[in-house]
Copies of this chain bind each other. A is one copy, B any other.
Amino acid sequence: MKMKVKVKNKSRLDDFNKYKSHKGLKTSQKRLSIIEYFLKEDRHFSVEELYYEVKKVYPKVSYSTVYRTLKLLADSGLARICSFGDGTTRFEPAHKAEHHDHLVCQRCGTIIEFKSTEIELLQKKIAQKHNFLVVLHKLELYGLCANCKKKARRH
């Protein structure tokens, strides 16, 4: 089980290495640490979160480096930008973005992922009708999660 995850991330890291040598980049410890953490956690991150995470290992790391690394990840196709309208940008591993959508709780900020092949199919149909080539999609449902709904009822 654990093995599988490791192998998956390794292949993603390989993708990045290909991109890296193609662009003539170097491998710094900090950058590697950011990328590994990002892939290991396998969920969406705000720049701030990632910054503080990496700071634990490299206390001198700067926002610039985190921003620059995330940009590289996005360019190489490993990360996707996904913001939830709170004024900050978030990134998530591209392979997840492909087939996951989000329920976003407006009260507590919890984000629940879901997937629906039925919706994806309908999206494809709509795109076809408009002769549109879909590169990526984004579906978010905003509202109250089960917990906050319960709390709201109490008052």
Contact between chains at A146 and B126 (CB < 8 Å): no
Q: Give bound CA distance, A126 to B123, whole Å.
A: 16
Set B81, B135, B140: member contacting A85, Cβ < 8 A = B81
| Residues of A in contact, count (CB < 8 Å) | 33
Q: Is the CB of A138 within 8 A of B136?
A: no
Asked whether any CB of chain B lies closer than 8 Å to the CB of A119, the reply is: yes
With an 8 A cutoff between CB atoms, is A131 at the interface?
Answer: yes
**In the complex with contacts A122-B119, A126-B116, A135-B139 CB distance below 8 A:** no
**What is the bound-complex CA distance between A122 and B141, given in angstroms?**
12
Q: Mark A3-46, 1 if CB is under 8 A from B, else 0.
A: 00000000000000000000000000000000000000000000
What per-residue 1/0 map shows which CB atoms of A121-140 lie under 8 Å from chain B?
Answer: 01100110011111111111
Assuming the A-B contacts A119-B122, A138-B138, are A130 and B143 also in contact, with contact meaning beta carbons closer than 8 angstroms in the complex? no
Partner pick for A139 among B103, B138, B146, CB 8 A cutoff: B138
Contact of A135 among B83, B106, B112, B138 (CB under 8 A): B106
State whether the Cβ of A145 lies closer than 8 Å to any Cβ in chain B.
yes
Tell me, yes or no, whether A142 is within 8 Å of chain B by CB: yes
A-B contact pairs, 10 of them (CB 8 A): A83-B85, A103-B127, A122-B122, A123-B141, A127-B141, A130-B146, A132-B141, A132-B145, A133-B144, A133-B149
Binding site for B on A (CB under 8 A): 81, 83, 85, 103, 105-106, 112, 114, 116, 118-119, 122-123, 126-127, 130-146, 149
